[in-house]
Amino acid sequence: MPTGPRLGPGAQKLRATRQRSVEGGVRTVVVFQRDVETRRAWMNATAWALRPAFERAHARVMDRGEEGLRAALAAD
């Protein structure tokens, strides 16, 4: 069962493609997309004003996750 202020079994998409990198090698690009809705009344009521802050906070969390994933993959 999901926890936290977001709810969303909604659309989940995963797309992976192999591309040539600038350095000349091949890289795999993975794109995750998940559409969610907030379930906290205060978030829904203030979304019109606070959406940029919510998006920045989400971007920071995702950046940290990316750093952790890169570190885990580099350790192998």
Percent of the chain clearing pLDDT 90 (strictly above): 20
Count of domains forming the chain? 1
> Model confidence over 15-28: pLDDT tens digits?
667 777 777 777 77
Is residue 5, in this structure, part of any structural domain at all?
A: no
Which range of residues forms the domain containing residue 19? Answer: 10-75
Q: How far apart are CA 27 and CA 25, in angstroms?
A: 7
pTM, rounded to two decimals: 0.55
Task: Kindly state the DSSP code that residue 11 receives in the 8-state scheme.
Answer: -
Task: Report the distance separating Cα 51 and Cα 57, nearest Å.
Answer: 10
Per-residue pLDDT reduced to its tens digit, 46-68: 999 999 998 899 889 989 988 99
Residue 48 resides in a domain: yes
Cα 10 versus chain centre, distance: 14
Is 3 inside a domain boundary? no
Looking at the chain, the whole-number percentage of residues with pLDDT higher than 70 is: 75
Token pair for residue 39? 């379930």
The SS3 assignment for 50 reads: helix
